[in-house]
Amino acid sequence: MSREERKLRKHIEAHARRELRKALSKARVKDSKPPRERVNINEEEVDNVPSPKRNRIATVRESVLSPGFVAETGPGFCDVLCGSERIRCRHSVDVAIGDQVLFSPTRRRIEQILPRRTALSRADPHNPHLERVIAANVDVVVNVVSLKTPPLRPGLIDRYLIAIGKSGAEPLICANKVDLLISPEELDPLRPYQDAGIPVILCSAATGAGLDSLSAALAGKLCVFAGHSGVGKSSLLNALDPRLDIATGTVSEGNEKGRHTTTSSALYRLPNGATVIDTPGIREFGLWDVAPADLRRYYQEFGACRCAFSDCTHTHEPECGVKEALERGVISKPRYESYLRIFNSEK
Ligand code: GDP
Ligand code: ZN
């Protein structure tokens, strides 16, 4: 190689390194320091490029992917955590909060979503043929409800429980605002869930009642708070860690429906090691990909009943163990009625 060629090669390599550094620093959050190892690896790869040709270097740049964790999704963007960095990437339709991904820090693009352990999904409210993954890889889905203001909606709880059953995560019902209750009978609508073996925690973000039990149930896990708007999801998070200072809404007196204070999902780390995804409040929950014939497996209390037909849908068949248990009062009437309603609506 002539002296001129060597000079040219050195010049091109130095230029490539400068470009790569520029692209990497753009991808970093302004005030956070780059993780040393990753930058070194990238630079080594460029140093080892055998040819000075720019297109070869470009290929190396593209191939450098980092593992990350999706901590927020919003209109047109998603934030990926990688070590101590938080990198804003272009939105990708399939990505959900909680996803483990491989992404390109230079192109700020998610290249691959790693297989999900669990996925809580619903049908898109505007297009029921589209799946919306509310959160991925969560251990526990906390369905936050209130018995009063806004009033309890057992049909919505049942839909959540079906979606949670399908997601592969553990269910937990957190009944907030117990400070508003006057008599213990007001807790009766929660009994069928307790009887079916679903954990129910009674608490109040306002008085602090039950927060120790809630904190213990979440400790060290990836959790999602989901439920009707106005039930106190954000208030509970603030009560578990006052430093979070999340904006909360009010429940308008006229229709007792919560305002949609939280508009996109966000992720919070609690002092007890829990990571909680707070989701926007919803009013309706469209089930995703649950065939009517599969519905029965998400009603845990039906499991112990024996029917004459192994594929009994517990609707019209004779010698149905579920209907017999219903008559004996072993299965709750509101739960069975909600099963029928959902069965007929999903047909
Ligand atoms: P979100 O939409 O589920 O996040 O609900 P917010 O946390 O924004 O709370 C809605 C309203 O309920 C706010 O006015 C809160 O102050 C109120 N709230 C939340 N938790 C409690 C509680 O335990 N008791 C009472 N009385 N009010 C509460
Ligand atoms: Zn049956």
3-state secondary structure of 207: coil
pLDDT per position as a tens digit, 106-141: 999 999 999 999 999 999 989 989 999 999 999 999
3-state secondary structure of 174: strand
Which helix or strand (DSSP H or E) is residue 38 part of? helix 36-47
- The pLDDT, as a whole number, for residue 104 is 92
233 within ligand 1 shell (Cβ under 6 A): yes
- The pLDDT, as a whole number, for residue 82 is 93
Q: Identify the residue whose C-alpha is closest to ligand 1 atom 19.
A: 232
* Tokens 């927020």, located at residue: 72
- The pLDDT, as a whole number, for residue 10 is 59
- The pLDDT, as a whole number, for residue 40 is 29
CATH of domain 292-345: 1.10.40.50
Give me ligand 2 centre to Cα 305, in Å. Answer: 7
Q: Identify the residue whose C-alpha is closest to ligand 1 atom 9.
A: 232
74 beta partners: 77
Residue 316 CB burial class (10 angstroms; 0-12, 13-18, ≥19): exposed
Q: How far is CA 298 from CA 141, 335, 342, 343, in A?
A: 15, 12, 12, 12
Give me ligand 1 centre to Cα 179, in Å. Answer: 11
Give me ligand 1 centre to Cα 157, in Å. Answer: 18
End-to-end CA distance of the chain: 75
Yes or no: say if 108 and 87 are a contact pair by the CB < 8 Å rule. Answer: yes
- The pLDDT, as a whole number, for residue 215 is 98
- The pLDDT, as a whole number, for residue 29 is 40
- The pLDDT, as a whole number, for residue 347 is 74
Which one, of 153, 278, 288, lies nearest residue 225 by Cα?
Answer: 278
The CA distance from 262 to 92, in Å, is 21
- The pLDDT, as a whole number, for residue 34 is 36
Which one, of 284, 282, 280, 253, lies nearest residue 266 by Cα?
Answer: 280
Atom of ligand 1 nearest to the CA of 231: 3
* Tokens 């609508």, located at residue: 189
Pick the CATH number of 134-278 from 3.30.420.40, 3.40.190.10, 3.20.20.70, 3.40.50.300: 3.40.50.300
Query: How is the chain split into domains, by residue range?
Result: 3-62, 66-113, 134-278, 292-345
The CA distance from 145 to 153, in Å, is 8
pLDDT per position as a tens digit, 142-185: 999 999 999 999 999 999 999 999 999 999 999 999 999 999 99
- The pLDDT, as a whole number, for residue 103 is 93
| Total Cβ atoms within 10 A of residue 215 | 18
Q: How far is CA 262 from CA 174, 177, 280, in A?
A: 18, 19, 5
Yes or no: say if 119 and 167 are a contact pair by the CB < 8 Å rule. Answer: yes
Opening angle at CA 307, ends 305 and 311, nearest 5? 110
Question: Structure pTM?
Answer: 0.80
Yes or no: say if 298 and 162 are a contact pair by the CB < 8 Å rule. Answer: yes
Atom of ligand 1 nearest to the CA of 228: 3
Spans of the chain, pLDDT less than 50: 8, 12, 16, 20, 23, 27-58, 60, 252-261
Say whether domain 66-113 belongs to CATH 1.25.40.
Answer: no
Mutating to test ligand 1, I would choose from 181, 228, 235 the residue with most ligand atoms within 8 A of its C-beta, which is: 235
